[in-house]
């Protein structure tokens, strides 16, 4: 793929992605986004909106019944570009060994309970980076120190059950960055942790990103997490991206009613006072066909035009998009100003 000098080099480019699950139920459709080198992008949306499937497609780890039906996922740019859609197993092995790292919600389930955490990281370094035993041990201790584990040489000899959830997540992050990836995908990596540890892990991700020039795709249902950690936000609903743009601008002036609704149920920037509210109504299930906007049944602004047919993405300029018939490039018609009394 030729490089495009007028645009920043991209680490990941997803175009028109469609994913189906369980014998053909479309769960993700028409999803396009790019992550620039060194950029931090937050992917938010309610449970079931398709965040995890999108990430797993980029990792080649879809569930057994999941399939990429259409679209492209390209990792890297220029001479380093690799087409991941339809990639062979050897390509995936190479990508996961050295170009994409990932951390998930439940770190314990990704570790072998009968091996020390140090052994598991060192083994990774031996197999994937070709280090010899002593070098793998020393590099593991260095990585454990880098992710903020106290007494890293001692931690090396501990088993997963001896470590707290926050420590296990740090171990997983050490394993994920051990291959020196260009992209780190963190899928709900802080969701199960208490707010103090959650803030520490997010700070660690920000620090690692700066130190290693990593691109970060941070998946969460929590807008406050994105507000703290991400330059850009992708808002997903019912398997589609409904709004995207620089985080400050999207959260400061949301153009899609769903983004606005999400903001109404989150107290951004105040870790201690999150209200446990929900948006009334149910999101569409995977495979549910709807003629128009997928958010229309829950949207206070829905009109006939919203139900007439598929709603295209409107390019608002300055890196912003919205998938809403009300959206125009003028902020005077932004959702915030259009709220009915
Ligand atoms: N293996 C599967 N079999 C059937 N349906 C699935 C499967 N995996 C995901 N789905 C469906 O696809 C849709 C998107 O799921 P996905 O896990 O990507 O959502 P999500 O936004 O990551 O949700 P969460 O925040 O709960 O993780 C949901 O409707 C889900 O029920």
pTM for this structure? 0.89
Q: Is residue 147 part of a domain?
A: no
* Rounded-to-integer distance, Cα 111 and Cα 169, Å: 10
SS3 (DSSP) at 112:
coil
User: What is the atom index within ligand 1 of the atom nearest the CA of 221?
Assistant: 25
The pLDDT tens digits along the chain (341 residues) read: 444 445 668 889 999 999 999 878 999 999 999 999 999 999 999 888 999 999 999 999 899 999 999 999 999 988 888 999 988 888 988 888 789 999 998 888 899 999 999 999 999 999 888 899 999 999 999 999 999 999 999 999 999 999 999 999 999 999 999 988 999 999 988 888 888 898 999 999 999 999 999 999 999 988 888 998 999 999 999 999 999 999 999 999 999 999 988 887 765 544 444 444 567 788 888 888 888 999 999 888 888 889 888 899 999 998 999 999 987 644 434 444 443 32
For residue 62, the domain's CATH number is 3.40.50.300
Q: Cα(118) to centroid of ligand 1, in Å?
A: 33
Q: Cα(65) to centroid of ligand 1, in Å?
A: 11
SS3 (DSSP) at 256:
coil
* Rounded-to-integer distance, Cα 147 and Cα 152, Å: 9
Q: Is residue 95 part of a domain?
A: yes
Q: Is residue 142 part of a domain?
A: no
ipTM of the complex: 0.93
Cα of 30 vs its chain's centroid, Å: 17
Q: Is residue 314 part of a domain?
A: yes
Mutate-to-test residue for ligand 1 from 20, 53, 64, highest number of ligand atoms within 8 A of CB: 53
User: What is the atom index within ligand 1 of the atom nearest the CA of 239?
Assistant: 14
CB 164 within 8 A of CB 170: no
Q: Is residue 236 part of a domain?
A: yes
Q: Cα(48) to centroid of ligand 1, in Å?
A: 5
Q: Which domain holds residue 282?
A: 10-99+179-338
Q: Which residues, in sequence order, are CB contacts of 161 under 8 Å at separation 6+?
A: 113
Number of structural domains, the chain? 1
């Amino acid at each position: 793929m030729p490089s495009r000098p007028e645009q920043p080099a991209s680490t990941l480019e997803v175009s028109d992605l469609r994913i189906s699950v369980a014998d053909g139920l479309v769960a993700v459709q028409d999803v396009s986004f790019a992550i620039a080198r060194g950029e931090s992008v937050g992917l938010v949306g309610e449970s079931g909106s398709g965040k995890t499937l999108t990430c797993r497609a980029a990792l080649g780890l879809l569930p057994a019944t999941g399939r990429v039906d259409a679209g492209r996922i390209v990792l890297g740019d220029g001479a380093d570009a690799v087409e991941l859609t339809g990639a062979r197993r050897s390509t995936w092995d190479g990508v996961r060994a050295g170009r994409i790292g990932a951390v998930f919600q439940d770190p314990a389930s990704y570790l072998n309970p009968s091996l020390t955490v140090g052994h598991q990281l060192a083994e990774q370094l031996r197999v994937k980076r070709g280090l010899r035993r002593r070098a793998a041990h020393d590099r593991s201790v260095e990585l454990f120190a880098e992710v903020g584990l106290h007494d890293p040489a001692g931690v090396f000899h501990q088993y997963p059950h001896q470590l707290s959830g926050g420590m296990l997540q740090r171990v997983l992050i050490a394993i994920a960055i051990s291959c020196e990836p260009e992209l780190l995908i963190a899928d709900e990596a802080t969701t199960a942790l208490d707010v103090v540890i959650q803030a520490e892990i997010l700070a660690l991700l920000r620090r690692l990103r700066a130190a290693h020039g990593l691109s970060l795709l941070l998946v969460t249902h929590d807008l406050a997490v994105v507000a703290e950690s991400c330059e850009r936000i992708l808002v997903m609903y019912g398997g589609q991206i409904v709004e995207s743009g620089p985080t400050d601008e999207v959260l400061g002036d949301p153009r899609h009613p769903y983004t606005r609704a999400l903001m109404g149920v989150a107290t951004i920037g105040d870790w201690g006072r999150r209200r446990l509210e929900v948006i009334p109504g149910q999101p569409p299930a995977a495979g549910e066909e709807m003629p128009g906007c997928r958010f229309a049944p829950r949207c206070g602004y829905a009109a006939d035009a919203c139900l007439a047919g598929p709603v295209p993405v409107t390019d608002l300029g300055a890196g912003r998009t919205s998938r809403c018939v009300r959206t125009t490039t003028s902020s005077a018609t932004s959702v915030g100003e259009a709220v009915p009394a």
